Amino acid sequence: MAQQHDLTAPPAADAADGRTTESTAFRSALDVIRGVEPRVADAIAAELTDQREMLKLIASENYASPAVLLAMGNWFSDKYAEGTVGRRFYAGCRNVDTVESLAAEHAKSVFGAAHAYAQPHSGIDANLVAFWAVLSQRVEAPALAEAGVRQVNDLSEQDWAKLRAAFGNQRMLGMSLDAGGHLTHGFRPNISGKMFDQRSYGTDPRTGLVDYDALRASAREFRPLIIVAGYSAYPRLVNFRIMREIADEVGATLMVDMAHFAGLVAGKVLTGDFDPVPHANIVTTTTHKSLRGPRGGMVLCDDTLAEHVDRGCPMVLGGPLPHVMAAKAVALAEAARPEFRSYAQAIVDNSRALAEGLLKRGAKLVTGGTDNHLVLIDVSSYGLTGRQAEAALLESGIVTNRNSVPQDPNGAWYTSGIRIGTPALTTRGLGTAEMDEIADLIDAVLSGTSAAPAAKGGLSKANYVLADGLAERIAGQAADLVAGFPLYPAIDLG
């Protein structure tokens, strides 16, 4: 059994009625909400019950600490604070300056970054800020210098037309969605695929691994302005030293989206060639997922891009969310603690144990295993689509998400894969022994599920049939398993 982390360790009761400070805080908050809209209070309480009872294996989810959660529910929510620290478009932002500065300082310290920007509301916002910061540095700044003006408002109509045309003709090379990339890495229906003349790189069809020689050849031929590295469903590590070499060779800016594995970077599990911060020109991330903070985004960059990144508002963003920045500062302070390194290493240990447990039961895994926080199961070997497998697992008390696999014949909606991750369960204190039990539960569900016949012949990609009693049995076993690892044990809403 893994050692319980302090996030889940129950503190001693500190009130006369025996309640903890956390229980009092959250009970009081729900009482206030219930006085206005009781259905919302009930839904919040029900969500805690669901999360306590189910096996949460979604690789992009985690459990934030009570301190992080409470930092979001305060008067900072009432503040407008467009601009940056010390340069706001609104008065009365000195306290916002404090929390934004703390978030940035903690981020620079934790990640070893030259500059940090804590305002993005989400991962896609962080990526948009990064894209436009690079465009501002690489396209706009030279155009302004050539025209002899300081800002775009001073450009002549002719020069402005030239700049707009230049903005719309830049190239980006990013990892394809089915290889493990993200929607914002150039997927055509996403804004990133519409902003840029875009090309994708994939993985070696024999191994499922990034083919750096093929990527280099593509970069030489395509000559992109931006190369995007990072992933949301790639179960191995990326060599960012090689990625930077390729970018430098073709004159591209290297951008790394580390949203999924930021906690592994913060926890010093990914170092050297596998730590993106020393190698990338600009790095984006979310602050939840493996970093275990609030839902939000962040940008890290070198000094050459700092002034452009800080123009995220008004360039891309509107008013920042000061209450979320406060929570980011708290989460990053937690990530600086020594115990966070133990937590990050346990994420990877658990992921590898989960992969080994699935492999010995005959599951087919993309790349044959994992080196990070996630495992990608090709469920076609069970005769299922990802959508069918996801639904059958959910009915059985196991929360996952369907995901494309390389060269997926079922597309991005039905998919052929299931993505599972270990950050959340590791937060609860589950260890490698429990991962083997979970692998057994997953295999039992997938083996006991079959595709339902479609209405007009063939097999339905959406419907499935579970063996009698299987869902109830597995859900009971899953609930029993997590009951030994209480979630938020210091919080009693009863």
Given the residues 216, 295, 361, 473, the one annotated as active site: 295
Whether the bond between 314 and the residue before it is cis, its omega within 30 degrees of 0, is yes
Interacting residues of 448 by C-beta distance below 8 A, sequence separation 6+: 466, 467, 470
356 is catalytic: no
Question: Residue 322's closest CA among 103, 62, 108, 67?
Answer: 103
82 is catalytic: yes
For residues 302, 337, 99 and 278, what is the CA-based torsion angle, rounded to 10 degrees?
A: 0
Do residues 449 and 384 make contact, with C-beta atoms less than 8 angstroms apart?
A: yes
Given the residues 84, 286, 400, 426, the one annotated as active site: 286
55 forms bridges with which residues in the sheet? 398
339 is catalytic: no
Phi, psi at 236, each rounded to 5°: -120, -175
Q: What is the Cα 2 distance to its own chain's centre?
A: 24
Do residues 423 and 341 make contact, with C-beta atoms less than 8 angstroms apart?
A: no
295 is catalytic: yes
Given the residues 82, 197, 436, 492, the one annotated as active site: 82
22 is catalytic: no
What are 478's two structure tokens?
């899953």
Do residues 362 and 443 make contact, with C-beta atoms less than 8 angstroms apart?
A: yes
Given the residues 22, 100, 125, 257, the one annotated as active site: 257
**Angle at the Cα of 359 (from 356 to 361), degrees rounded to 5?**
115
Given the residues 80, 105, 364, 395, the one annotated as active site: 80
Interacting residues of 257 by C-beta distance below 8 A, sequence separation 6+: 123, 127, 182, 184, 185, 228, 229, 230, 231, 283, 284, 285
286 is catalytic: yes
Active site amino acids: 80, 82, 257, 286, 289, 295
